[in-house]
Each structure stands twice: as structure tokens, then as C-alpha cells.
Amino acid sequence: MPTVPLFALIGGVDPWIFTFSFLTVAVTIWMGFRSARTSKTASDFFVAGRSVSVGWNASAISGEYLSAASFMGVAGMVMSSGYDALWYPVCYACGYLFLLLFIAGPLRRFGAYTIPDFAEGRYDSPIFRKIAVCFVLFIGFFYTMPQMKGAGVTLAYIFPGLPYWAGVVLVGAVITLNVALGGMKGITLVQAFQYWAKMFAISVPLFVVMAVFGFYNGHVAANVAYGETPAVAGSGPGIERQALPAKAPQDNAWIAPFGPLTTKAVNAAAAALPAAQRAAYLAEHQRPYSLLYTYSLIIALVCGTAGLPHILVRFYTNPDGVAAKRTTMWVMILIGIFYVFPPVFGVIGRNLMPELYTGVGAKGTDKIVLELPTLLGARFGVLGSILSGITCAGAFAAFMSTFSGLLVSMTGALAHDVYGRMLRPQANQKERLVAFRTSAVLVGGVAIGLGCFVEPLEINFMVGQAFAIAAASYFPLLFMSVWWRGMTMKGAAIGMLTGGLCALFAAALTNFSTLALDKGPMGKLFSGFAPLNAFWAQHPLLRILSEQPAIWTVPLAIGLMVVISRATAHQVPGDIRMKMLVLHAPENLGLKQEYIKEHQAEAAH
Amino acid sequence: MPPPTPAHDHVVHSESFLRSLMRRQLSLSVACAATFLAALFGLPLLNYFAPALMATRVAGFTLSWLILGVLFFPFVWVISWYFIKHSIALEEKEVAQVQHDKERN
């Protein structure tokens, strides 16, 4: 009987949660199409948008930046790993400081639209542009995987009967179609609206939950650290903890630094040793390796933020370098306030919903933000469903905005750079439009396909990997190109390629081996990588360097850039002084116009 | 204020102008970055070498949790506010300097 699965699907659906989620999707798509009609071309987005005010622009950047990782992943990871996971939200927000201090102002003054544009303009090299384009795709695909997992988890939560992959395919197809048909361009208004929608969706339900079940500090206090008695920890009345399952980390490991997240590799290595040697091995290696892991994670996130292609593109909508700096500061304030909230969900979830620790994939801790408000249902009836519906709506806003933003920039790279410049430079307008749509479907299809594989991986962890790749490729390129005039195209290209590809392979290897451990179908599919886990149990240090590669790939990239640029010093662009002036001199001196005039004169000769 | 016409402006195009421009801005950026990095890289070190201190309870949080989960954000806002104020002042001074030099010539 074909109707049975449909019944099973509709059966467990909460009408409130469904309504709020559906409304978010409908409104987002409607707004996208409405705005797309008023601004049709890419240059509308790039150039006319330059009059955007600081407040709008900061909201828009924040709206595009806060992805499924920020909205769902951070809470899930704080719940599963405790203190160490706090580095993620802090560095996601504070990474913007590096962008502000070293990159935002100069990049805006240079007046290139995208990183590939900047790469070409700074080194007068169309070849370098092509190399730079590759990383838009590499970073983009790594970034879309966790967004797809967010979609799969959310749909599996709304429709309890739906398998994970069906949610990924459904949401992925809707957004892809939307982008291919011209909606969801990088419209400032839509993105700015989405920031405030996400802020509302994360904070309001949380305040209600805290008012009923106890506040942030009370829930942290309920976890007893090593050597404390519950009285010292301050577990006050009013916090009613549920019993933790065996799979949950212990209180003292969870609340203290160097907990389950950073010690996983060493613990796996110790488990492979004879029981008698374990204690001594852990005492010697556990904490130093955790410190290394923490530092590598910090470097990846802070440097990676300054090299994300879909974020940097928005800085060109600032009227000048000063506005670019002001915008960055406001972005830090807006997302900083946001990032205080998700960890609270994780902390409260640990005390009140510990059953999620036993779930795997889409049923695990990554869905805590969606499910926590339903606890209110026991006392306040429908309020729990309404608030859960609001957080689901926020989750939709999160992965839809980031996924479509990424899809637009990746499709642009493929259609504009690969097709329009490399394959068929003579293509006409109509062919280009067809190419744009084909590319959108292609990129969306690959992203959906990749998304189906990653159910066992944590959302937040995967976003961290995208940051690690950006940190080893685009960050060194931008930082060194802006501040060191001795850079040559060869140095920049080789440094960026080597650092970025090393980070990419390390991240992929880590994921393959983690997938091999899965008990479901993914474990069978990736069983070929199982021996890798045995190898890593022998060499936990290598596992850490592969899981968090930034600590060696970022210095490698910068080192290669310096060495090779020195070796090819005669190839430094001839007008380097003028280029540096354009990057660093205040706009009031009018150097940019002069630079453009000179370039046009050269081209005319 | 109309932008100065810099067609053959020896001040702006001199090597020394570019050097001082980049040096002044970079030293401001580096000073701010150093403050930020000292806190960012210092916190794991404190966690490592002074675990008992960092586990002290402050209003239910551990000290380390309070710093990382709450206080770090305003700290970074202060740095960025300081940087922007000084960097804009620096740019205004540079423009004024260039115009002053030109009037003298």
C-alpha cells in the first residue's frame, strides 16, 4: 500500500513547527524573487549596492555569515564536548578582528569585486585568477556540506518519518532551483532581514526556556568539576538534571579545558595500548597534545574568517575604506551578541535533554536547538511547539541564506570564470545565462550528493574544516599581498596552492576515516579507510595534525610565499609602488582614479 | 573638500611617503593584533599551567568559561573600537599633511 509511508510521514508532524518553518521558506523565496526583479544584473549587486549604509551592510554580512554551524552546530558541539567547543563561537566572531586590522580597508580601496579579481589585479595575471577560482569551489563545497547536514537534521526533526538524505535532497533541490531561476541573489535587504530573524529565533525561545528552567550560570554550575563537591559548584535549587547516559562525557571532563574534543586522538591511542600502560601514556601525552589541538583550531578559525570568499565579496558594497572598517566593527558586535546564545542551548540541553547523547547522526546533539523548547510543552502546552517552530524557522533561515550565498558565489565562479573566460570567451548573453543555470544545477547537485554522505559528522566540525582550508589559502594570499610588496605571482600561487591543498587533503582524510567508524551504511561505504584509524591509534599526533591542519599549513603557505617570491624577485609587478599606494593611501588623495587612468592609457597604447 | 589633483604630485608618489604610510598603519594594526593574540593564545596557556585558578567558580561559571563564553566578545569590541578611532585619525592626518606640504611648495 503506497499510502502507508505517507501516513507515517505526516503522523508525527507538529502543525506549529511545520507552519513556522514553511512560512520562513516561503517568505525567503518570495523576498528573493521580489528583490531579484528590481536588480537584475551582477553589477547591480556589486556597484549600485556600494551606497549601502554601514548598519544595513553589517546586518547583511552577519546574516550571510551565521550559518547552520552557528545556529545549530555550536550548541550541539558545546553539548557533546563542553568547554573546548566554546572556541568555535569565539573565534568565528573574533576572526573578524584580523579582517579589520589587516585586510578590510585596503581590499575595499583596491576596488576588486572578488578574491579572483584581486588576485588578477594585484599581479596583472589572468592565470593566477584561474588558480584563485579553484579555491572558491574547494572552500565552498566544504562549507555546503554542513549546511546540507543542517537541512537534513531539521527536516528529519520536523517530519520524524523522513530519512536524513531525503531532507538534504528536498531542501538542496529547492534552493538550487531558486538560485538557478534567479532568486536569492546577494540582496542586502534579504540578508539583513535574515540576521534579525536568526537573532530573534535564537534569543526569544532561549529566554523563555531560561526563565522556566534556570539560567545559564545555574546550568553550568550543575556540572561538578574535578575535586569539587556539589556545594562548591553551586548547584542551586531549581535545576533538575536528568541522568546522563553512559555515552555522555563526565562532568569534570566536560566543564574543564582539554576535554573530549581535543583529547579524542590521544584517548584512542591509549585504548589501543595494553591496560597497564594506559595511565602512564595518558599522563604524559594527553594535555600537551590537547594544547596543540587547541592552538591549531584557533589559528584555523581566526585566519579562516579573514579568507572566506562569500564574506569578503560584501565588503565592496561599502562606499569607502573607512566605511569598510566601520562595517567590520558592527559585524563583530552583531555576531558577538548572537554567539553568546547557542552555547547556552548546549549547556541546558546537557542537563535537561541528555537522551540526545545516545542518538547518532540526525538524531544526535546537533538538533538540540530545535528540540529544547519542546520541554515547555509539558507545562505550557502549545507554547513549547510554537517556540520550537521559531527555532526551526531560524535554522531554515541559517542554512538557506548561507547555502544560497555559497551557491551564488560558486556558480558565479564556474559560469563567469571557468565558462565565460576559459572555455568560451566569445559566448553571447543567452549562452551565458544557460551556462549560469547549468552551473547552478551542477554545483547544487554536487553539494546535495556530498551532503548525503556527512550525516555522522558534526556540523560545526565540518565548518571548521572549511575555515582551515581558507586559512591556508586565501588568508596568506590576502595578508601578504596587502602588506608585502616583494610578493610575486609565482610565490603567491605556489604558497596558496600548496597550503590550501595540504589542508584540503588533511580534512578529507580525517572525514573519510571518521565515516569508516560509522555503524550505518556510510561505515560500509568507507570501510576501505578503516586501517587509517588503526594507524592513527599508533600516531595520535599525526591524527591531530590532520584533523586540525592549520598549525602547519598556514606557516607552510606563508613560508613558501616568502621563499619563492625572493627567488623570483625580478618578477615583482612594475607598478608595485602605485598598487601599494592605492591599497593604503586614504581615498581623499584620489589615487584610485589616477591608477585607473594610467591603466586605461596603458591598454590604449 | 575637493580631492587634491595629484597628477604629478611628488609628495604622494615619493618612496618615503609610501613607507611612512604603510609603517604607521601597520604598527597600529600590529599593536592591536598583539593585544588580541596575547589574550587569545594566553588563555589556553593559563588553562594549561593554572588549571586550579581557571576552575574557580564565578557566579556558577568557571573562571575560564566566563572569560571565553562571555567576556571575550566585549574585549574584542573594545580593541576594534580603539583601532577604528585611531586609524581614521591617522588617515585624516595623512591627508592634511599632504595638503600642507603642497601649499608650501
Of A78-82, A123-127, A415-419, give the range with the top mean pLDDT.
Answer: A78-82
Tell me the per-residue pLDDT of A433-454, one tens digit each, with 9 for 90 and over.
Answer: 788 888 889 999 999 999 988 8
List chain A residues with CB under 8 Å of B32. 97, 101
* Residue among B35, B76, B36, B71 nearest B54 (CA): B71
Q: What are phi and psi of B61, to 5 degrees?
A: -75, 160
User: Long-range pairs for A47-54 at CB < 8 Å and ≥24 separation?
Assistant: A49/A188, A49/A317, A50/A316, A50/A317, A50/A318, A50/A319, A51/A319, A52/A188, A52/A317, A52/A318, A54/A318, A54/A323, A54/A326, A54/A327, A54/A330
* Residue among A231, A296, A338 nearest A84 (CA): A296
For the record, the C-alpha cell of A81 comes out as 564536548
Contact A295 B44 (CB under 8 A): yes
Contact A100 B84 (CB under 8 A): yes
- A598 inside 8 A of chain B by CB: no
DSSP B57: E
Tell me the per-residue pLDDT of A17-29, one tens digit each, with 9 for 90 and over.
Answer: 888 888 888 887 7
Q: What are phi and psi of A508, to 5 degrees?
A: -65, -45
Contact A577 B18 (CB under 8 A): yes
Contact A97 B54 (CB under 8 A): no
pLDDT of residue A183: 52
The enclosing H or E element of B58 equals strand B57-58
Mutate to test the interface with B, among A584, A592, A595, A598 (most CBs of B within 10 A): A584
- Among chain A residues, the shortest Cα distance to B8 is held by A594
A113: number of Cβ within 10 Å? 18
How far apart (Å, rounded) are the C-alpha atoms in residues A208 and A602?
64
- Least trusted range by pLDDT, from A293-307, A561-575, B1-15, B59-73: B1-15
The three-state (H, E, C) secondary structure of A358-414, written as one string = HCCHHHCHHHHHHHHHHHHHHHHCHHHHHHHHHHHHHHHHHHHHHHHHHHHHHHHHH
Those of residues 72-101 in A touching chain B at CB distance below 8 A are 83, 86-87, 90, 93-94, 96-98, 100-101
Q: How confident is the model at residue A47 (pLDDT cuts 50, 70, 90)?
A: very low
pLDDT of residue A10: 58
Q: How confident is the model at residue A594 (pLDDT cuts 50, 70, 90)?
A: low
How far apart (Å, rounded) are the C-alpha atoms in residues A57 and A70?
19
pLDDT of residue A477: 92
Contact A294 B25 (CB under 8 A): no
Tell me the per-residue pLDDT of A238-287, one tens digit each, with 9 for 90 and over.
Answer: 677 787 887 888 888 888 888 888 888 888 888 888 888 888 888 888 88
Helix, strand or coil for residue A240? coil
Mutate to test the interface with B, among A589, A592, A598 (most CBs of B within 10 A): A589
Q: How confident is the model at residue B73 (pLDDT cuts 50, 70, 90)?
A: very high
Q: Is residue A223 within 8 Å of A236, Cβ to Cβ?
A: no
A604: distance to nearest CA of chain B, Å? 19
The yes-or-no verdict on residue A49 having pLDDT over 50 is no
Contact B64 A257 (CB under 8 A): yes
pLDDT of residue A114: 73
Q: Locate cell 550571510: which residue?
A: A64
* Residue among A305, A313, A308, A309 nearest A332 (CA): A305
- Least trusted range by pLDDT, from A2-16, A320-334, A340-354, B46-60: A2-16
β-bridge partners, B58: B61
Give the CA distances from residue A309 to residues A138, A168, A279, A415, A474, in Å, rounded to whole numbers and listed in that order. 11, 24, 45, 16, 8
The three-state (H, E, C) secondary structure of A167-222, written as one string = HHHHHHHHHHHHHHCCCCCCCHHHHHHHHHHHHHHHHHHHHHHHHHHCCHHHHHHC
Q: How confident is the model at residue A551 (pLDDT cuts 50, 70, 90)?
A: very high
Contact B73 A302 (CB under 8 A): no
Report pTM. 0.88
- A364 inside 8 A of chain B by CB: no
How far apart (Å, rounded) are the C-alpha atoms in residues A478 and A482?
6
Helix, strand or coil for residue A568? coil
B68: distance to nearest CA of chain A, Å? 7
For the record, the C-alpha cell of A80 comes out as 557533546
pLDDT of residue B5: 47
pLDDT of residue A497: 93
Tell me the per-residue pLDDT of A494-516, one tens digit each, with 9 for 90 and over.
Answer: 999 999 999 999 999 988 888 88
Q: How confident is the model at residue B35 (pLDDT cuts 50, 70, 90)?
A: very high
- Residue A311 is which amino acid? I
Strand blocks (E) in A400-528: none
Taking one residue from A and the other from B, the number of pairs with CB-CB distance under 8 angstroms is: 153
Contact A217 B59 (CB under 8 A): yes
β-pairing verdict for B61-62 and B57-58: antiparallel
DSSP A49: G
Q: What is the Cβ-side half-sphere exposure of residue A568, based on CA atoms within 13 angstroms? A: 16
